[in-house]
Structure formats: C-alpha cells, structure tokens
Amino acid sequence: MSSTAERTDVLVIGSGFGGAITAYHLAAGGAKVTILERGPWLRTEEFEHDYKLGSSYTRAFDFTVGDGMSILGGNCVGGGSVVYFAAMPRAPRFVFERHGSIGRRMWPGAINRDTLDPWYDRVAESLNITKQEWSDASYAGGLWAAACDHAGRTANPLPAAIDNSKCVNCNFMMAGCRFEAKQSLTLNYLPAALAHGARIRPLHEVQRISRTADGDYLVHYNVVDNDDYRVHIGSGTIEAKVVVMAAGAGATPVILQRSEDDLGTMPHAVGRYFSGNGERLNTAIINEDKAAELLGLDRGDGLAYAANAIGKGPTVASWDRLDGSLPEYSRYSLEQLYFPPGLGTILAQVPDASGPTWFGPEKKEILKRWTSWLTIFTMIEDDNEGVFGPPPATGNAHRISQQMLGRGNLSYDPTPNTWGAWMQSDAEVKEILEKDGLAKVMPWTNDLIGAYTVHPLASCRMGDDPHTSALDDRNELRGHPGIFVTDGSAVPGALTVNPAMTIAAVAERAVPNIVRAAQDKGVRVSYGAPAPDGSRAGRKNVLPLLQLAGR
C-alpha cells in the first residue's frame, strides 16, 4: 500500500449534484479545489447500452441492501447525474412546511419555496431544464396520460434536463447517455470546475476525516481497483481547510460516523431520520385490446401500446394529489417510469397470482408480455424512519461482488403513516389503470430487499433544532466548523417529487456560506461566478438575498 499526502483549500467528497456545484463555484472563485470520487471516470463513449452484468452500468451504480431498505445510487464521476432520469420538478410549496415525525416544521425557518426559488433559477440556467411538450412524451407517458384522463384525472409533461434535439429515444439514459442529450454534470459544472483548476480523483473512496494540529482537516482515503471495488490498491491523505461532504445520503453519514473517534461527537441526527423520498413502484400489465378500445391508441401493426422500452425515462406525471390543503401523508405524485431489466423484472409481482407473486411459472408468463408493462413511480410523504448502524470496516457498505452490490448498515421500519400513504397511492394507481379492464396492477414486492429508493435523503439533514438536525441552515455540520454537507443528506425529508432539482438548489444556496467559511480560514476565494456557460441572469436573482443576509 502506498501513502501520499497533499494540501488543498477545499476538499469535496463526491461529484454528484452536491459536489460538482460547490466545486465549480469555489474553483471559479479562486480556491484550490480537489474532488475525491469513489467511482470511475466513464467517458461518453464508454457507456454501454445493454444492461448486461459486467458492462459499464455495473461500474456506474452502487446498490446497497439494508435492513428494510435498499438504495440504488450513482458511483462514478458525475454521481447520480450520470444515471438519473433527468426529471427536474421543483418541490411543491407545502413540502417546506411539513412537520413529519417530529411534529413541527422540519425545514429551517430561513428556507421556503419563495426563498429557494432564486436558487432553483440558478440551477435551471446551468442545466438547460425545459418543460417537455406532449410531442416529447414517450409511448409509455402517453398511455399514462390517456389512462389518467379516462379515469378523470389530470397528467402533465415533466420538466427535464434533456436536450431533445440530441435525444434518440433509446431509453438507455439510466445507463449513461451516449448522445450527451441528458444534462449530466459531466457536461456543465464539472468541466467548468476543471477549467478553473479543480482536480478530480476517481476511484478514491474516503474513509474518515480527522483534524490537524492547527485545526484544519485531514481526509483519509483508499484507492479502489478499477475493476474490483473490493480491492484497495493504495491509500493516502489530503489536508484541507474546508471539507464539503457530498458522497450521497447513503455514504455521507457513514463517513462521519467513522470519523467520530477522531473529530469528536457527531450531532445526534447524523445517520438518523433517513428518508427514501417515500418511493414505491407499481407494475401494470396492459391489455392491448382494451388500450385500443378505451383510449383510442394505435401505433400501427395492430398494437395500441407494447412499447415499454421505447422512448425515455419519465415524461408524464399526475400531480392531482400535490395539494397543500390535503392532510400530510395523503399527498403524493404518480409518475410514469421506465425501469430497465434487472430489478424491474425481478421485483414485479404477478396480479391475481395463485402461487408465489414474484417468481415461478406465473411470473414467467407475465414476463412474456414485458413490452406491455407500464411502471408507475410513487413519491409519498414518509416518516424519516431510517437509521444507520455502526459503520462497516471500509466504505459505505460491505462489498459482496466486485462491482455494484453491497450490504449496508441502514435499518428502515416503515411507520403506519408511511404504510398508509403507500397503500393510498397504490389504491389510486390501481383505480386509474384497472378502470374498465385496461390493465392489471401490483406493487413491487418488499419481500426480497425491503423498500427501495433511488433518491435517498435526509441522513444528515438541515434544520433549526440541534437535536433533530445535523446541519444548521447554512449546511454546516453542527459542532464541526468548516465541514459542510451539500448532497441529498441535507434535504430534511421526502419531497413528493423527484429531488435532483431541490438537492441542486440547496447546494447552490450553500455555496456563499462555504465561501465565507473558507475566507475565515485564510483562503483567497470570492463568490459570484456565472453559470458554467457564462450566463449571469440567475446570479442577479440571488444577489438581493445575499445582501439581505449580510454576505
């Protein structure tokens, strides 16, 4: 094992939304920035569109099985932005007033939809987010919209970070976009950070953080083998004045837990109050004849639909239940989603099964009709039930296979509130899609891997109450000045919509606070960089907020 030591002004752990955004602004402001990313650096041409084991997607994903909850996240330069579906809605206004399990407002008093909107605007300026038109909807999205209309509901095209002039509707965007149509951070914030001198170190997995004698931080990492992530081929340390934690809500708390012996007591909320964003999936098996008869659909050759894998990820959602006047735990979104082979086919259950629901002869029969499947993604309000146990020896999980699969220390036991919300949303999906015999619907099974999420949140959340939040309203870790958390860990709770836009806005909002902390440590850095492409309109929107805050 080799050992290295170096210095940087700001050390950023992770290169997803929370890491890339902060790294760009700090580098553009003059700070020396180093980014450590545990996954590989996959170039556009390396994305393999096959979903076969051993292809690029197994390198780019991290699937961690916990007790009652499993997490699917990104594991590559660009983090979750490389493998996300690019849906970028803003959180509904009521989300910021949620009480959740603590019985009082979870979000800091300084943040609501109005105060976050200018930061949303900054993200929209940087990622070219557009509202999809109906002509951009996939066959699956169109079917979902037609079914909603048939059942007396409404549906809306999703805002997405997709350049439709480049999109070929291959539906492999979850495996990385080879056509640069999806606005991954590898196309904007990260190249801009590199242009300003930031350095990215792929395959560097951070283990813990300690203090130096003069009060700075020492970040300890292992270098991971390019092919077998269970093998460490080196180790080292980097000294930094400021540390930005952006390793993801399934890894950031684990690193901080492991650092407690060196740094001292962590806030009570580190590794607690985890939310899976209330996510749940249902699979509908569409009756093609009924789709033609009831919905008037015809795509030729006698087919009404049979297009599960054609198009792109989510394009259409029903937001009828995103109504702030409704009681908490009864508000949710219903979103059409293409989930590729693998978990999608394994966890789907057989409607009206006489035997096992997720395997066996009856499962084989519905697999023959996989092109007529429709997956509906539900995002409810959960109770932040997740708790991380003692950290594993290294990394965020015990690696089971050479890539992708691990066993983590997260426990999640859904409360009656969460179960009730899931059951209510399941019932509505069933009511919409089974109306007049259009389809048969069943939720994915929880028996095999428990609940599951692709949008982990809140494991080091921000708030005003030191007992129930790990961060203050500036994203700084309580009791540990100079450590900031800017990934999904910081978001206090479930959002009822896809969270990437909100994670990014919260990270943008945190940057001036990180700049101030770096300045206090003697770093020559300023705030005020334009969007990565040089646009400045979004900057104008946030300047009044900074002046009001005295920054």
Helix (H), strand (E), coil (C) string for 53-105: CCCHHHHHEEEEEEECEEEEEECCCCCHHHHCCCECCCCCHHHHHCCHHHCCC
- In whole angstroms, what is the distance from residue 499 CA to residue 490 CA? 12
- Please list, in sequence order, all residues whose beta carbon lies within 8 angstroms of the beta carbon of residue 539, skipping any fewer than 6 positions away: 122, 528, 529, 530, 531
DSSP structure class, residue 459: T
Per-residue pLDDT, 341: 81
CB neighbour list of residue 516: distance below 8 Å, 6 or more residues apart: 551
Domain boundaries, the chain: 7-550
Q: Which CATH architecture has domain 7-550?
A: 3-Layer(bba) Sandwich (3.50)
The single-letter DSSP state of residue 253 is H
Rounded to two decimals, what is the model's pTM? Answer: 0.96
Answer for the pair 372, 465: CB distance below 8 angstroms, yes or no.
Answer: no
Mean pLDDT, each 10-residue run in order, the chain (551 residues): 72 98 98 98 93 86 95 96 96 97 95 98 92 92 98 97 93 93 96 98 98 96 96 97 98 98 98 98 97 94 91 95 98 94 87 90 93 97 98 94 94 97 98 98 90 96 98 98 98 98 98 98 96 80 57 49
DSSP, collapsed to helix, strand or coil, labels residue 405 as strand
Res 300: pLDDT: 85
- Whether residue 549 contacts residue 115, with contact meaning beta carbons closer than 8 Å, is answered with no
Q: Which of 25, 156, 140, 172 is nearest to 89 (CA)?
A: 156
Angle at 440 between CA 435 and CA 443, to 5 degrees: 110
289 sits in which H/E element:
helix 288-295
The mean predicted confidence, pLDDT, of the chain is 94
Question: What confidence score (pLDDT) does residue 538 get?
Answer: 66
DSSP 106-157: -S-TT--HHHHHHHHHHHHHHHT-EEPPGGG--HHHHHHHHHHHHTT---EE
Nearest residue to 249 (alpha-carbon basis) of 267, 271, 268: 271
- pLDDT value of residue 1: 37
Residue 205 CB contacts under 8 Å (≥ 6 apart), including other chains: 36, 38, 221, 222, 223, 224, 232, 394, 395
Residues 275 and 384 sit within 8 Å (Cβ to Cβ): yes
Residue 13, classed as helix, strand or coil, is strand
Residue 333 belongs to what H/E stretch?
strand 333-337
Instruction: Please give the DSSP secondary-structure letter assigned to residue 462.
Output: B
Query: Could you say which DSSP state residue 246 is in?
Result: -
